[in-house]
């Protein structure tokens, strides 16, 4: 089996696995006053400091959540009250579903946000803008620092979903100049079940919580933190950070696919090193995903609904991909991808393309 769906969930880092197991044995609740509680609290605060240092926020302004979706929802609801909302056209459903009634910032045919349109939209009173750093389907990067400068200049807030960039390239909230940053532990080699919202000082002072509960996370997110998941998250952050070396493997996979007729979507923009979006003209994306899975290669297409059906991609539609929007798969290399993985993918893809072009003829 070849796993090339890291943007859905990364292969766990061994260090993260070890940290999860160690934390499972701690027993204590970080809120408890006794020895076990203190031991748990230490792991939690170590993790918080790890994230703060790596991603450019004060430790006090790192809010652990259940994952990226909750971090996005907390930002949209907690910072968006009383503000106009604008979201990028290619945002993840975590943002799209939370930001009901938001205006939509268009992208160009490469999938890059239109900053001129952003500047125009900003001239209209207090606002919250949500822009992902890298798109989950294409890997295309938005110019976040430029967008943040525009937002700050207009007195607007900028929330950045960094679920796909964190752990894969250097990401710092302070350097970007944004107001909040959503992270997902399992997208960077930690376990599922932990994420975080990092806040700049001005946003931190204004955040309204979604869940109050027992007042954990300085009253910003009630509920006992998922300590093993958070410990694994932090361990993965410590060992990861830059996957630039995957670009060569990704390019090889692209070349192999293009040699049998595939079209790369978003290839004209700066991208994540591990991601490519490959359209095979005339062949439904779901057929490609199934055919590759049956050949032992695991990739995805569009955004998988909880039913598992492959829905048409709103991302590729926003890029004006036309019919290709329903004919594209996403290949996203995990942190430990090898040349053998890419060779296996190339063989399976070329076999599939040969068979499906034959049956289409």
Partner 1 sequence: MRVLVAMSGGVDSSTVAGLLAEAGHDVIGVTLQLYDHGAVVGRKGACCAGQDIHDARRVADHLGIPHYVIDAEARFRSAVMASFADSYANGETPVPCVRCNQTVKFTDLIQLSRDLGCDRMATGHYVQRIDGPQGAELHRAVDPGRDQSWFLFATTRAQLEQSLFPLGAMPDKLHVRDEAARLGLPVAAKPDSQDICFVPSGSYADQVGKLRPDALMPGEIVTADGAVVGQHGGIARYTVGQAKRLGTATQDGGTRRVVLALDPAQRRVVVGPATGGTRHLRLREVNWLAGPARLRCRVKLRARETPHDAEIVPTGTGAGVILDEAALPAPGQACVFYDGERVMGGGFIERPAMPG
Residues that bind partner 1 (CB under 8 A): 283, 286-287, 289-291, 293-294, 305-312, 355-356, 359
Q: Which of 130, 151, 277, 305 is catalytic?
A: 305
Nearest 5°: CA angle at 15, between 11 and 48? 100
Give the contacts of 293 (CB within 8 A, at least 6 positions apart): none
Which long-range contacts does 307-310 make (Cβ < 8 Å, 24+ apart)? 310/285, 310/286
| Residue 89 to residue 295: CA distance in whole angstroms | 34
Residue number with CB closer to partner 1 (1 or 116): 1
Backbone angles phi, psi at 193, to 5 degrees: 115, 0
Residue number with CB closer to partner 1 (144 or 285): 285
Residue number with CB closer to partner 1 (194 or 352): 352
Give the contacts of 181 (CB within 8 A, at least 6 positions apart): 55, 57, 159, 160, 162, 171, 173, 197, 198
Compute the least distance from the CB of residue 147 to partner 1, in Å. Answer: 33
Give the contacts of 268 (CB within 8 A, at least 6 positions apart): 109, 110
Backbone angles phi, psi at 141, to 5 degrees: -95, 135
Compute the least distance from the CB of residue 321 to partner 1, in Å. Answer: 17
Backbone angles phi, psi at 179, to 5 degrees: -100, -25
Residue number with CB closer to partner 1 (287 or 350): 287
Q: What is the dihedral of CA 99, 101, 102, 107, to 10 degrees?
A: 100
Compute the least distance from the CB of residue 157 to partner 1, in Å. Answer: 30
Residue number with CB closer to partner 1 (162 or 285): 285
Compute the least distance from the CB of residue 286 to partner 1, in Å. Answer: 6
CA distances from 73 to 94, 114, 198, 354 (A): 7, 24, 13, 44
Compute the least distance from the CB of residue 283 to partner 1, in Å. Answer: 8
Compute the least distance from the CB of residue 140 to partner 1, in Å. Answer: 24
Clarify whether 305 is annotated catalytic: yes
* Helix H or strand E segment including 309: none
Residue number with CB closer to partner 1 (125 or 322): 322
Give the contacts of 289 (CB within 8 A, at least 6 positions apart): 299, 300, 301, 310, 329
Compute the least distance from the CB of residue 21 to partner 1, in Å. Answer: 27
| CB 200 within 8 Å of CB 174 | yes
Residue with tokens 């240092």: 53
User: What token pair was written down for 168?
Assistant: 């894969």
Residue number with CB closer to partner 1 (206 or 294): 294
* Active site residues per annotation: 305
């Amino acid at each position: 089996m070849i796993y090339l769906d890291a943007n859905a969930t990364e292969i766990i880092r061994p260090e993260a696995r070890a940290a999860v197991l160690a934390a499972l044995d701690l027993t204590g609740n970080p809120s408890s006053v006794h020895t076990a509680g203190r031991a748990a609290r230490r792991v939690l605060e170590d993790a918080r400091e790890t994230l703060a240092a790596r991603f450019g926020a004060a430790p006090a302004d790192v809010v652990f959540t259940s994952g990226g979706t909750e971090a996005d929802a907390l930002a949209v609801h907690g910072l968006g009250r009383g503000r106009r909302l604008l979201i990028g056209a290619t945002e993840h459903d975590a943002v799209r579903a939370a930001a009901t009634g938001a205006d939509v910032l268009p992208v160009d045919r490469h999938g890059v946000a239109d900053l001129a349109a952003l500047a125009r939209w900003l001239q209209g009173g207090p606002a919250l803008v949500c822009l992902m750093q890298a798109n989950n389907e294409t890997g295309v990067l938005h110019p976040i620092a430029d967008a943040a400068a525009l937002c700050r200049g207009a007195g607007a807030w900028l929330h950045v979903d960094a679920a796909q960039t964190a752990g894969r390239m250097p990401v710092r909230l302070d350097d970007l100049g944004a107001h909040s940053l959503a992270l997902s532990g399992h997208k960077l080699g930690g376990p599922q079940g932990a994420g975080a919202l990092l806040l700049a000082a001005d946003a931190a002072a204004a955040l309204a919580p979604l869940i109050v509960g027992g007042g954990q996370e300085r009253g910003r997110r009630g509920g006992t933190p998922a300590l093993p998941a958070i410990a694994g998250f932090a361990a993965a952050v410590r060992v990861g950070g830059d996957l630039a070396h995957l670009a060569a493997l990704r390019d090889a996979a692209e070349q192999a696919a293009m040699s049998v007729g595939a079209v790369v979507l978003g290839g004209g923009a700066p991208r994540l090193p591990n991601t490519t979006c490959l359209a095979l003209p005339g062949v439904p994306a779901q057929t490609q995903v199934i055919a590759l899975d049956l050949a032992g290669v695991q990739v995805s297409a569009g955004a998988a609904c909880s039913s598992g059906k492959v829905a048409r991609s709103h991302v590729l539609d926003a890029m004006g991909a036309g019919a290709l929007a329903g004919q594209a798969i996403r290949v996203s290399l995990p942190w430990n991808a090898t040349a053998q993985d890419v060779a296996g993918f190339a063989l399976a893809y070329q076999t599939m393309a040969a068979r499906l072009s034959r049956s289409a003829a």
